[in-house]
Structure 1
Amino acid sequence: MNSQYTRREIFCQNTCHELKRFWEREIGKQTCYRESEENRLGKSALRKLREEWKQRLETKLRLGNHPEETENRANVG
């Protein structure tokens, strides 16, 4: 009877280590994927373009709210 319990403990211990290794690998894969995706997005020009268009839109909105300032600038310039 002791041999049955020993085998079960060994089996459970090995299974636990295998499960731990499996999840560590999965977490490693996900971390690698996330880092590569962040790197890819960092190299993308899309973020820079969006920021430039946002600044242009803000400038147009500011100028549209105060048309008398644009007329004064045009007359001075």
Structure 2
Amino acid sequence: MRLFSGMNNQYTRREVFCRNTCHDLKHFWEREIGKQTYYRESEERRLGRSALRKLREEWKQRLETKLRLRNNPEDTEKRTNVG
């Protein structure tokens, strides 16, 4: 700890230099952030490889097609007559 005094002794300012403590805290939080980033990226990769996402997309397309056909029966007749 250092003691700084200016022209007036009544105003003194103390500054604490953290040296190793600041470095240790910074290092700790950098590691924690790194861990969280690693876990998040791992989870994103795992979900990207998952078949569930593909299945949901397929079912969504099927549902949209059924709803479209149900709401516009004329389009269905036109498609069957053309094809």
Larger RCO, structure (CA 8 Å, separation 6 or more): 2
Match of 1:24? 30
Match of 1:56? 62
Match of 1:39? 45
TM-score normalised over the length of structure 2: 0.71
SS at 2:19's partner residue?
A: helix
Within the candidate set 52, 72, 82, 1:66 is matched to 72
TM-score normalised over the length of structure 1: 0.76
Shift of 1:13: 1.1
Shift of 1:76: 6.7
Distance in 2 (alpha carbons) for counterparts of 1:68 and 1:23: 63
Identity, in percent, stands at: 78
Match of 2:19? 13
RMSD: 2.0
Distance in 1 (alpha carbons) for counterparts of 2:39 and 2:82: 56
Distance in 2 (alpha carbons) for counterparts of 1:20 and 1:76: 70
Structure of higher CA gyration radius? 2
> What are the ranges of 5 or more consecutive residues in structure 2 without an aligned counterpart?
3-15
> What are the ranges of 5 or more consecutive residues in structure 1 without an aligned counterpart?
none
